[in-house]
Amino acid sequence: MSKRGGKIFMVGATGQAKLCRLFLEEQGYKITTVFDQNPAIEKPFPCEIFHDPSELEYRARNCDGFIVCIGGSYGKARAAYSERLQSWGIEPISVKHPTAFLGKTTCTRKGLQMMPHAVANELATIGDWCILNTNCTVDHECEIGNGVHIMGGASVAGLVRIEDFATIGTNATILPRLTIGTGAVVGAGAVVTRDVPAETVVVGVPARPLDK
């Protein structure tokens, strides 16, 4: 991890970025440059901001570390930006709020964003570029893939497998020993009682595929 006081490059300038900035600055980091493709977004806090993707490499290379704050169901974009930045030799930064619980036997990888009161219990595995949002719980022996976003208040029971780029909505519940497929989306408040296939949106109680 980059040394405290190093210059940090951030992708994203809205809610997730504002939270991560606060937590990182409490740890001694400083966000110096922010990229967001939306030209209507103004500078979210004292820093440099730009919107032209052609400048991404030049500006990022002037920083010591990076964090990609793209939430929602944009796990693929979060991973793509992160892998580009890492390929240029810039170090990924993880952020964990002091109130979050990470089990001693839990395995985490690069670019984790763990918000207040999030829980990743013992013997779980958390992949690259994941967001565990406020008050969510990931119970024992879960396997969480890359680019997964578990939103606020969601409850993932033990021995669940969540594959790459899946999104678990706010206050959703996943029952034990189920698999959520790659790119699947579980809607807010849904209760998942059976496996969810890849690239499928499920909603309701019990959760069922959303009619197209």
Sheet containing strand 30-35, strands side by side: 48-50, 30-35, 7-11, 65-68, 91-92
Question: CA geometry: angle at 173 spanning 169 and 174, to 5°?
Answer: 105
Query: What secondary structure letter does DSSP report for 196?
Result: B
Paired with 49 in beta bridges are 34
Query: Of the listed 51, 97, 117, 140, which one is catalytic?
Result: 140
Query: What are the distances in angstroms from CA 104 to CA 36, 99, 149, 157?
Result: 35, 15, 22, 18
How many CA atoms within 13 Å lie on the side-chain side of 99? 10
User: DSSP letters of 70-109?
Assistant: --TT-HHHHHHHHHHHHHTTPEE--EE-TT-EE-TT-EE-
3-class state of residue 161 by DSSP: strand
Catalytic residue list contains 140: yes
Active site residues: 140
